[in-house]
Structure 1
Amino acid sequence: MRPPALYLVASIANLQAIELAFGHEARAAALGRLRAAMRRVVPRGEMIELENAEAIQVVAHGRSAAGPLLDRLCADLGSRPIMSEIGPFYIVPSLGAAEIGVGDVEMARMNARNQIAALPLVSGRSEISRYREDMRQCASLLENIDRGGAALVWQSVVSPEHESRLLYFEGLLRLCGEDGELRACEAGIRALERVGLAPELDRRMMALVLDHLEADPVIRLGVNISASSASLHRYGKFATWCDLLSRLARHPDLARRLVIEITETAEIPSLDEAGEFISRMQDLGCLVAIDDFGAGRASVMQTAALLADIIKIDGGFIRDAMQDERRRATFEHLVGLARSLAPAVVVEGVETAGQAELARQAGAQWLQGYHFGRPSLTRALSAPPEARTIWALGNFRDWFHPLPKAAHAGR
């Protein structure tokens, strides 16, 4: 019997943008990097060289699954930037794979190529200039993380009834300045989202938080990912998050203590894919939170369709609610709406005792903000003994009151 084989196609979704922003030599370097990465990941593959090709095509023999192969290819391509005379840039891959049936190579090739997609075109002097600057910021941020020049600081999510009762600690990325100060890196994160590289940051952050969970057997931690990363198919069918899925499946104790927060500063590329991603993570034992509710890009209907475990209300609403009765009523309505969409509601941005009391009266089960302590490097490690004892004994999902199954399924 003929051994199994895969037809793999790898292209560069931002190839046109690379050429316009960094030149023809950069285009050639990008294709060269893609070809070299494919040879490293599939060393025994039969590479099909096509004249003037903008995609690398390989027949991989053996029993390797397509997803892990493509995931390793993505990790290889995202490991470091390509340096051009104009500046650094990264490849945004677009990948496809299909099994080859007996005598059916052409059908497999067509199926694999049909999975390939390109990013929107970049045109005009201002867009090209912005693209170069975005890539510079992407390279700066990712290289800082890879060199150890970044850190996670931790902020607690607490009960309004008992501040020592902690739901989890959210990890927030900070860059280490030359003066030793920790600085926010929102500009770099937004740049990664604009050029299609948010999964590169999110992959690194997810691995780092899992390392923290492995080091502490009871702590509960949350990690932010971009809405644009909330897909198992971001770079190709099942070509994203394979390493994460495998690690969580091998270590269910980590999954049970992990909260994945999906931020809404970028659009959700596909509601179906986001729902599939959330469902898969929940099946593994993770909790999933929707961040920035009320101020993010997702509509109420989209948020309801995602069936998240936690909804986090943007901090702007609690600040506004202290101004007058109308905005207080809006805030109270928003908390009630959020409670109808998910089992647990967190109000962010709580900075005063008055805001904490207002959120409690509105029905929020959990609070987060400077009133309970500023984010710090050591806050998660210094959780009170009573919290750590309960964490060690209890089921994470018992920390809030879930909706009845029938109501939750019918949303």
Structure 2
Amino acid sequence: MKAVEKESRHYLLTVRLNNYSALCAAYGDELASNALKHVRRSLERHLGKVLIAAVESEELTVLAENRLLESYSPDELIELLCSIISAEPFRCADVDVLLDICAAYRPVDSSTSSADFERLLAEAAAELEFAHPRSISTWRPMSAKEEARYRADMARSVQLLKAIRRRTAFFVWRPIADPKDRGRILYYDGRLRYANESGQQVECDTAITAFERLGLTHIVDLQLVSDVLDELQADPLARLSVPISAKSLSANISGREAGWNEIFTRLRRDPALGPRLILEVADTSDLRSHDDLEPFLDRLRALGVRLAVGRFGGLASSVEQLIDVAPDIIKIDSGFLHTAHQSDRSRARVGPLLDLARTVARMVVLDGVASSWHLLVALDEEAEWVAGSYVGGTSIGRDWINVNYGDAVAGMSSFNHAFGDHGSAPPKGQHTTH
């Protein structure tokens, strides 16, 4: 941890409850007000006694005294506090809700004048704008239908987050394979599942969509990336992809330069992790402005992390957006292969789509290989890599755990060779210092 302002024992902390107005609209003013009080109690629990400096609708500014804070830089402190408060659902009147928190921080001391104090208050409030609100923000009343959907989405999101924390939701893995040699695996896709009452695996897509509608995907995405890093640490030959929302690709999730610091720290601590981690987004039209995104992606790539874009051709993403993002991997939407048999025109789309994707990314995966006919189409179009139930369905285990060690090493070699030096981890001593 970076030490800061050793002479200062007081800290001005402004916290914003981003989904305050949505909670008001969906559950009423009382629940939203209690949620803000819960934030204050959480701050006191972790910082000690705090003095309320200002309260304005969804924002709370406190003056805290705690020597433990001197061990943290501002971005580390903000990320830690926000993750703690957002980690557990807030329960009020038999309702569980998730709180979307961002914060800004300023050190103060006994020499701070009244004018300087007001200036610091204004600076902290202004800095919250670096953490663009992701949550639904509206002061207008919700219709009965909107309120019911918001509440249902919140219930699904809370249930999934609890399941992830309790390990009753889990990853299953799907191979990305060579169509000419299905035993040659490039990497494995991670898909989130949970077990229903009958013990059957059920997809979590509905709950993930609920997170997206609430604007809270960053809460679950950061948890899933951390879980996949655990998998990579446990298996030094694993190459794994984790799907996340494009909106989570920002260094400023919890505040200025706060949100991904813990993950960056893990990647710097173990340089072998980054080159084996793939972050996959689907709709790049949800990405933030290029000015905000580019430095964040540069930091990821400096640590060896690779970026994949899925469902190419099936969503609103434009080729221009993809060129800006410069993904390492593009996955063709499975719908094109699934409908290729319907007409000559449908069949003719596959090849040009592959060619277009190859102009953008180094690696292209043709998704949707669900039959021998689909595999023949992939071979006919000279697809380098494919995915689908015919070449390998989802499984809790991964093949390389049980196969010959030499095969696993060969798979890693294929993965590294496919990218060359692109996206590899920097040598020791050359990591970014962010």
Using the size of structure 1 for normalisation, the TM-score is: 0.89
1:318 paired to 2:326 = no
Give the total of aligned pairs.
Answer: 401
The amino acid that maps onto 1:221 is L
The amino acid that maps onto 1:346 is V
C-alpha distance in 1 between matches for 2:409 and 2:125? 53
| 1:245 partner SS | helix
CA drift of 1:266 comes to: 7.8
2:93 to 72, 85, 90: 85
C-alpha distance in 1 between matches for 2:12 and 2:416? 42
C-alpha distance in 1 between matches for 2:275 and 2:55? 50
1:174 paired to 2:182 = no
1:55 to 59, 66, 75: 59
Q: Is the 8 A contact 2:334 2:367 kept in 1?
A: yes
1:389 paired to 2:401 = no
**Which ranges in structure 2 are unaligned for 5 or more consecutive residues?**
423-434
| 1:114 partner SS | helix
| 2:427 corresponding residue in structure 1 | none
C-alpha distance in 1 between matches for 2:346 and 2:336? 8
1:127 paired to 2:146 = yes
C-alpha distance in 2 between matches for 1:339 and 1:17? 42
C-alpha distance in 2 between matches for 1:244 and 1:27? 31
Identity of aligned residues (%): 30
Q: 1:317 to 1:402 in 2, by over 3 A?
A: farther
Across the aligned residues of Structure 1 and Structure 2, the Cα RMSD in angstroms comes to: 2.6
Q: Is the 8 A contact 2:208 2:217 kept in 1?
A: yes
Summarize deviations over 1:387-409 as a string: whole Å, max 9, x none. 312245x3843224689xxxxxx
The amino acid that maps onto 2:171 is L
Q: Is the 8 A contact 1:47 1:56 kept in 2?
A: no
Q: Is the 8 A contact 1:214 1:254 kept in 2?
A: yes
Q: Is the 8 A contact 2:189 2:242 kept in 1?
A: yes
1:17 paired to 2:22 = yes
Q: 1:99 to 1:113 in 2, by over 3 A?
A: same
| 1:250 corresponding residue in structure 2 | 269
Summarize deviations over 1:296-355 as a string: whole Å, max 9, x none. 232211111001111111100112223323223322111111111111001111112222
| 2:38 corresponding residue in structure 1 | 33
1:188 paired to 2:207 = yes
Q: Is the 8 A contact 1:344 1:401 kept in 2?
A: no
| 2:104 corresponding residue in structure 1 | 96
Q: Is the 8 A contact 1:335 1:363 kept in 2?
A: no
| 2:155 corresponding residue in structure 1 | 136
Q: 1:33 to 1:128 in 2, by over 3 A?
A: same
CA drift of 1:167 comes to: 0.9
| 1:166 partner SS | strand
Summarize deviations over 1:234-277 as a string: whole Å, max 9, x none. 23222211111111110111112111111329822434333333
C-alpha distance in 1 between matches for 2:420 and 2:148? 50
Using the size of structure 2 for normalisation, the TM-score is: 0.84
| 1:360 partner SS | helix
CA drift of 1:383 comes to: 6.0
Q: 1:321 to 1:182 in 2, by over 3 A?
A: same
Moved more, 340-349 or 226-235: 226-235
The amino acid that maps onto 2:59 is A
Q: 1:98 to 1:268 in 2, by over 3 A?
A: farther
Q: 1:364 to 1:74 in 2, by over 3 A?
A: farther
Q: Is the 8 A contact 2:18 2:101 kept in 1?
A: yes
1:160 to 174, 179, 182: 179
| 1:256 partner SS | helix
1:108 paired to 2:125 = no
Once the two structures are superposed, the pairs formed by residues 248-327 of structure 1 within 5 Å of their partners are 248-264=267-283, 267-327=286-346
C-alpha distance in 1 between matches for 2:105 and 2:407? 47
Q: Is the 8 A contact 1:171 1:224 kept in 2?
A: yes
Runs of 4+ in structure 1 over 6 Å off: 99-102
Q: Is the 8 A contact 1:303 1:341 kept in 2?
A: yes
Q: 1:263 to 1:383 in 2, by over 3 A?
A: farther
| 1:57 partner SS | strand
| 1:370 partner SS | coil
Q: Is the 8 A contact 1:7 1:109 kept in 2?
A: yes
The amino acid that maps onto 1:273 is D
